[in-house]
Amino acid sequence: MSDQSKADIAVAKFLEHTDGEVASFFEACVHCGECAEACHFHLSTGDPKYTPTYKLLPMVKAYKRDKAPFSSLKKMVGLAPAQVTEEELLEWEPLVYDSCNMCGRCTLVCPMGIDIAGTIRKMREGYAAAGMVPEGLQRSAEFVKKTSSPMGVTIKALQAQIKHQEDITGIPIEVDKKGADYMAIFSSMEIMGYPEVLGAYSKLFKKAGVSWTISSVAYEATNVGVQIGSGPLAKEILQRVVDAAEALEVKHVISPECGHAYGAIRWAGPNMMGRQFNFEVVHIIELLDQLRREGKIPPGKKDDRTMTLHDPCQIIRRGGLLKEPRSLMDGSCGNFVEMKGAGVTNFCCGGGGGVSANPRAEELQTAAFSQKLKQLDGIDNLEAVVVPCGNCRTVFEDGLDAYERDLEIIGLSELIAETLAE
């Protein structure tokens, strides 16, 4: 691949992904800079280059040069932007991958309502097609191709974790159970870092009388293709889950406590596959909220510690599940205190959108986490944070460690399971 062709490939993808929606964003931006005031990377570093709209510049240039109305006229009179070069793409690559979690907070402050996060996702398609992807993310993609998991989690590793949880709870977990109502998928981070979530599911679903299973061939929810910006890889990863769910004839697939996995399968999934699924996608938080409202998982003794709730961006701000986790928290937590800015305007942990899988971005991620830390510090006598996303949990733990802070981080499903009525 020659230097020039890399730029050409990226630009061709930029243009392909500049649909009417993206064009409307590029045409509406007035360069007001408000988005910088919402971006945790800018707020924590003060560096203007982290202004969200600035991160889009190469894609904007490609659009204005080759696709925008009047672009031919402007090219004729020499007023069109110059061609995007490989040097420029390389200069922007850390802005596109290291300093954007695709969290969407900038959209809320934007007077034009521009979805910069969604556009960064499309811009990454150009970078991925040109092979300009950070090494860490590339490594995750290679693991996925071999094992379906970005961390290389094999079915044997999953089976060991299932066995361990069965021993703890005394409840069997049936793998590949055909005709089950629900098929659960998990993020690698949950399977290896927080396997107690498996035990929490089995305890909650037994209580609720829910029939569920885990597929031995499609247990991974993380979609590295979405993080990198590779449509073909994203589709390949999704295909495994869809095929397994339809082969097992389940009615629902449960998206786990993982931010981007929900968006990848629930909202982007059918569009990637070009068809609707033969099953319904439900987020675990939605399902638990529904089961609680139906009285199937009644709360018992509440956890009386002072707790707060982190809002994973792709589940809350960009996923629409705002009330459900709060309703669950109210039932299980005796002293639930919201952090300042909670809900749709909450700060990202700093590690979403593939940033946590990109070692090059570690320092920046830790800097961005300082905004979250400020929110936590605003709550008196805080004892625990409920973080309903496996990736956010590791970012929280790393961030707290980096800032030498001690705070318990727990998942929402585990909290619900621990406070379940006997």
Contact residues toward other proteins (CB under 8 A) are 18-21, 23-25, 27-34, 36-38, 42, 48-49, 51, 53-54, 67-70, 74, 107-115, 118, 266-271, 274-276, 280, 317-320, 322, 340-341, 344-345
CB of 263 to other proteins, least distance (A): 9
Nearer to other proteins, 169 or 375 (CB): 375
Nearer to other proteins, 107 or 202 (CB): 107
Nearer to other proteins, 76 or 160 (CB): 76
CB of 25 to other proteins, least distance (A): 5
Give dist(CA 249, CA 277) in Å, integer: 11
Name the token pair of 180: 């089950």
Give dist(CA 203, CA 418) in Å, integer: 9
Contact 381, 413 (CB under 8 A): no
Contact 336, 383 (CB under 8 A): no
Nearer to other proteins, 162 or 268 (CB): 268
Count CB atoms within 10 A of the CB of residue 148: 21
At 333, is the secondary structure helix, strand, or coil? strand
Contact 83, 34 (CB under 8 A): no
CB of 209 to other proteins, least distance (A): 25
CB of 70 to other proteins, least distance (A): 6
Contact 349, 258 (CB under 8 A): no
CB of 127 to other proteins, least distance (A): 21
Nearer to other proteins, 51 or 365 (CB): 51
Nearer to other proteins, 32 or 160 (CB): 32
Q: Which helix (H) or strand (E) holds 374?
A: helix 362-377
Nearer to other proteins, 38 or 137 (CB): 38
CB of 375 to other proteins, least distance (A): 11
Nearer to other proteins, 31 or 156 (CB): 31
CB of 323 to other proteins, least distance (A): 9
Nearer to other proteins, 54 or 369 (CB): 54
Backbone CA torsion sign across 257, 260, 264, 268:
positive
- Which DSSP state fits 70? T
Interior angle at CA 151, CA 148 and CA 157, nearest 5? 80
Give dist(CA 231, CA 226) in Å, integer: 7
At 280, is the secondary structure helix, strand, or coil? strand
E strands in 302-342: 303-309, 333-336
CB of 271 to other proteins, least distance (A): 6
CB of 30 to other proteins, least distance (A): 5
Tell how strand 333-336 and strand 280-283 pair up: unpaired
Backbone CA torsion sign across 417, 419, 421, 422:
positive
Give dist(CA 392, CA 348) in Å, integer: 8
Nearer to other proteins, 274 or 295 (CB): 274
Nearer to other proteins, 265 or 367 (CB): 265
CB of 317 to other proteins, least distance (A): 8
E strands in 318-374: 333-336
Contact 366, 398 (CB under 8 A): yes
CB of 24 to other proteins, least distance (A): 4
Give dist(CA 99, CA 108) in Å, integer: 18
Give dist(CA 348, CA 312) in Å, integer: 7
